Amino acid sequence: MDKRTILLLVLEAAVACGSGQPNVLLLVVDDLRPVLGCYGDPVAVTPNIDALARDATVFTRAYAQQALCGPSRTSFLTSRRPDTTRLYDVHSYWRRHAGNFTTLPQYFRDHGYHTVSAGKIFHPGIVSNHSDDQPYSWSEAPYHPPTQAHKQDPVCLGSDGSLHTNIYCPVQVEEQPGGSLPDIQTTRHSIAWLREWAGRAPQPSQPPPQQPNPTATQQPNPTATQQPFFLAVGFHKPHIPLKFPKQFLDLYPIQSVPLAPNRGLPPGLPPVAWNPWNDLRWREDIAALNVSFPYGPMPDEYARYIRQGYYAATSYTDSLIGDLLTTLDHLFPDTIVAFIGDHGESLASWVQS
């Protein structure tokens, strides 16, 4: 789903909502595969996203423009293919490298919206000019959760009782650096922003005092309206490392987690198309498996743990999305909601009272 699709949904929903400028919430989930109940996954426990999907347009043929965060996010946020943005990696900024393209939030901002970002929307670093594309895209400074600084810290409790830098990393949240996790902080910030924005809503103007001339026509002031918002909230999980509150493992007993049906090397696959998962191999738990490079398979037992962790991290994100949508429905019931994984699957809806 690209920028033009989201804009079309805004126009369609505006008619249904009876408003020319409805509020918009864009949810972006990092490295989300279609492991959701609404996409037919029999294992996934994702009740909040599934509930959103029931009242949504669900896209079943939404493909990744590029299987990497930087180019794929730049693509759907500028509505241009990587061949146009000339971005296939994470080493350049499109405005300087390819063209001064208008972004999705910039478009909304240029058309009267207050645009706000929390969490991972643009890919960080040079891809978004180390600024989340400021000053072009956002009305406020983008929010990034401070605990994201501990992404690679050794915080995963191993069987030896020590802390490690692992891929599979269920944790006790209160024991983490900062006493929280990035997506929890992003969700709380977004909920607080919605409540604060609701508190800014102008009240209807008071009628003017009685005119001394009884024959004069009294004209009441019109009710003031609040500026519409475009709020983009980006969740880091289930991107690796699979760090999530450990209670979400209870949803997926290890014996119930199936192995991937396509876990072998496909016959005739050209080497350029094979990902030897270098970004996993240096983690302590993966390194300890001593898997041969580049085609060695991961042992079935640990592959099952990785899949369990991915499902649990997805359910963790689903729970946070549920908290956010509950607040949105209470404060701003006529809001368009667009949901997208940054490498493909997407759905869009609007919440109505």
Residue 38 appears among annotated catalytic residues: no
Nearest residue to 42 (alpha-carbon basis) of 53, 34, 31, 54:
34
Which one from 17, 38, 69, 156 is the annotated catalytic residue? 69
Residue 123 appears among annotated catalytic residues: yes
Which one from 17, 38, 114, 123 is the annotated catalytic residue? 123
Nearest residue to 173 (alpha-carbon basis) of 238, 126, 243:
243
- Rounded CA gap, 64 and 68, in Å? 9
φ/ψ of residue 168, rounded to 5: -85, 110
- β-bridge mates for residue 156, sequence order: 164
Tell me the catalytic residues: 69, 123
